[in-house]
């Protein structure tokens, strides 16, 4: 996970890309714009966050055409289903094999950055086997063509993150991120405490592309929720999540990373939440576990090593330009806290580090942003049952979304800011 600072005369804005519930976190001070997903006025530009930034209206996430799997995509059907997105990013791999290989990474210990990530083998009994059975497949690992109409993934939200733009003329970058947030379901179709977010680059070749993407999202605010709105939104999503939209990336997919946040796979008591991050491998074309960005391995908590890093990079941390060195990064971000508030909640600590500096460092980590530093209980977009709109964390509603409104308004007005280093 990496967090960036948008520098505006009126606001120091810290935003980091963990969403899903996953999983996105946005960490920093509240802005002066509106909140609660309502219309927000920012210097004469009206931004509707519920239509332009975090879109979780049931008319979208339960669209009877776009969120119901179809074997063929004629007429743009199934465009917002898990299966459609997987098919678009799987390249030459069979989508079933692509997904099963990803899910099975939880079954065995993984080594990432020289550190072991413990197995969470209940993925088999809770997710893999029920889906195989629903698809008519034999138990075990025999060849199986998964029925994506029975995929245990429910759309929670579609998200626009222009604040994460990295484009620099002559150097490249992107116009931000477009995201799909899913909740994982139990065999009965009810919500698990398990979310997954697909985070895509909004590909940009010029500054005009950057403002063009922002304007397309902003134009959604002109339409009431309904068929026209959904068609305009689909036109946008297909341009970042469609097939072969990024020829220079693995499988031609613009996927930057897939992140998960769950507690249902915890093999221990007390329950252990865990966040993971996956990239499409350039060598295999499959999703593989990678380090969680900006988040040290938990074994470094309260150590002199961590304190030396924080104190030695104080200026960069305070200005939100610090990039945690690769050698410190963990292969997952466990979050031991379970009950709020609790003395057992995980908190990043470092001996001899001032509290303000400690907090500024910790709020930019995955497990800090999703717990103690933002008073959040693990997910910023909450899992939902059918017919129920996904709830948003207080931090997201009252702090992050208003800050994003301010940032998007400035972008649309043509204000300039220096893109931050972004390592995702």
Of the pLDDT bands very low, low, confident and very high (cuts 50, 70, 90), residue 407 is: very high
Residue 38 contacts residue 398 (beta carbons within 8 Å) = no
| pLDDT of 371 above 90 | no
Torsion of CA 319, 372, 17, 193, to 10 degrees: 180
Q: Which of 24-28, 86-90, 278-282 has the lowest mean pLDDT?
A: 24-28
| pLDDT of 134 above 90 | yes
Per-residue pLDDT, averaged over 112-132, amounts to: 97
C-alpha span between 20 and 292 (Å, rounded): 14
| pLDDT of 178 above 60 | yes
C-alpha span between 306 and 296 (Å, rounded): 8
Residue 253 lies in a domain: yes
pLDDT exceeding 70 applies to what percent of the chain?
A: 84
C-alpha span between 260 and 228 (Å, rounded): 31
| Token output for 47 | 């931004």
Residue 424 lies in a domain: no
pLDDT recorded at residue 341:
46
Per-residue pLDDT, averaged over 279-290, amounts to: 98
| pLDDT of 198 above 50 | yes
Residue 423 lies in a domain: no
C-alpha span between 319 and 314 (Å, rounded): 9
114 vs 378, residue with greater confidence: 114
Residue 27 lies in a domain: yes
C-alpha span between 297 and 276 (Å, rounded): 12
Residue 372 lies in a domain: yes
**Total count of domains within the chain:** 1
10 vs 57, residue with greater confidence: 57
C-alpha span between 149 and 69 (Å, rounded): 5
pTM for this predicted structure: 0.88
Per-residue pLDDT, averaged over 101-118, amounts to: 96
Per-residue pLDDT, averaged over 318-334, amounts to: 93
Of the pLDDT bands very low, low, confident and very high (cuts 50, 70, 90), residue 417 is: low
Residue 220 lies in a domain: yes
Residue 28 contacts residue 364 (beta carbons within 8 Å) = no
Which single residue is written with the structure tokens 């997105």? 85
Domain span holding position 121:
4-412
Q: What is the pLDDT of residues 204-263, one digit of tens each?
A: 999 999 999 999 999 999 999 999 999 999 999 999 999 999 999 999 999 999 999 999
Task: Please give the helix or strand (H or E) that residue 24 lies within, else none.
Answer: strand 23-24
Residue 81 contacts residue 68 (beta carbons within 8 Å) = yes
| pLDDT of 320 above 90 | no
DSSP of 266-319: --SSS--EEEEEEEE-TTTSSEEEEPPTT-B-GGGTTSHHHHHHHHHTHHHHHT
Residue 420 lies in a domain: no
| pLDDT of 23 above 60 | no
DSSP 3-state assignment of 396?
Answer: helix
pLDDT recorded at residue 22:
31
Residue 417 lies in a domain: no
- Count Cβ neighbours within 10 Å for each residue of 175-184 and write b for 16 or more, e otherwise: bbbbbbbbbb
């Amino acid at each position: 996970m990496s967090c960036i600072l948008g520098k505006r005369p009126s606001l120091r804005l810290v935003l980091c890309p963990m969403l899903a519930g996953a999983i996105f976190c946005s960490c920093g001070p509240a802005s002066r714009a509106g909140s609660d997903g309502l219309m927000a006025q920012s210097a004469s530009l009206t931004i509707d966050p519920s239509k332009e930034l975090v879109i979780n209206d049931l008319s979208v996430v339960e669209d009877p055409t776009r969120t119901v799997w179809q074997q063929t995509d004629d007429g743009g059907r199934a465009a917002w289903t898990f299966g459609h997105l997987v098919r678009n990013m799987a390249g030459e791999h069979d989508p079933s094999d692509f997904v099963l290989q990803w899910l099975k990474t939880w079954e065995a210990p993984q080594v990432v950055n020289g550190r072991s990530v413990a197995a969470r083998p209940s993925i088999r009994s809770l997710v893999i086997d029920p889906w195989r059975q629903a698809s008519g497949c034999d138990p075990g690992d025999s060849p199986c063509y998964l029925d994506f109409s029975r995929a245990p993934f429910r759309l929670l939200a579609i998200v626009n993150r222009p604040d994460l733009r990295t484009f620099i003329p002559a150097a490249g970058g992107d116009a931000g991120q477009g995201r799909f947030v899913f909740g994982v379901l139990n065999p009965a179709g009810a919500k698990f405490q398990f979310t997954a977010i697909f985070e895509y680059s909004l590909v940009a070749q010029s500054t005009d592309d950057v403002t063009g993407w922002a304007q397309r999202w902003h134009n959604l605010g002109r339409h009431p929720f309904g068929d026209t709105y959904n068609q305009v939104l689909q036109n946008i999503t297909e341009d970042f999540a469609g097939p072969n939209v990024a020829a220079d990336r693995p499988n031609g997919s613009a996927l930057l990373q897939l992140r998960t946040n769950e507690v249902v796979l915890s093999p221990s008591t007390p329950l252990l939440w865990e966040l993971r991050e996956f990239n499409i491998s350039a060598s295999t074309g499959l999703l593989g576990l990678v380090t969680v960005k900006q988040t040290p391995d938990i074994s470094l908590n309260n150590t002199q090593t961590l304190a030396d890093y924080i104190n030695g990079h104080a200026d960069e941390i305070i200005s939100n330009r610090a990039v945690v060195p690769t050698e410190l990064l963990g292969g997952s971000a466990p979050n031991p806290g379970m009950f709020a508030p609790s003395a057992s909640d995980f908190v990043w600590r470092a001996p001899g580090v001032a509290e303000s500096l400690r907090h500024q460092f910790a709020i930019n980590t995955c497990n800090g942003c999703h717990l103690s530093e933002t008073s959040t209980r693990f997910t910023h977009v909450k899992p939902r049952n059918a017919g129920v709109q996904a709830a948003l964390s207080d931090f997201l509603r009252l702090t992050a979304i208003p800050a994003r409104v301010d940032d998007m308004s400035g972008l649309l007005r043509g204000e300039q800011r220096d893109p931050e280093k972004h390592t995702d």
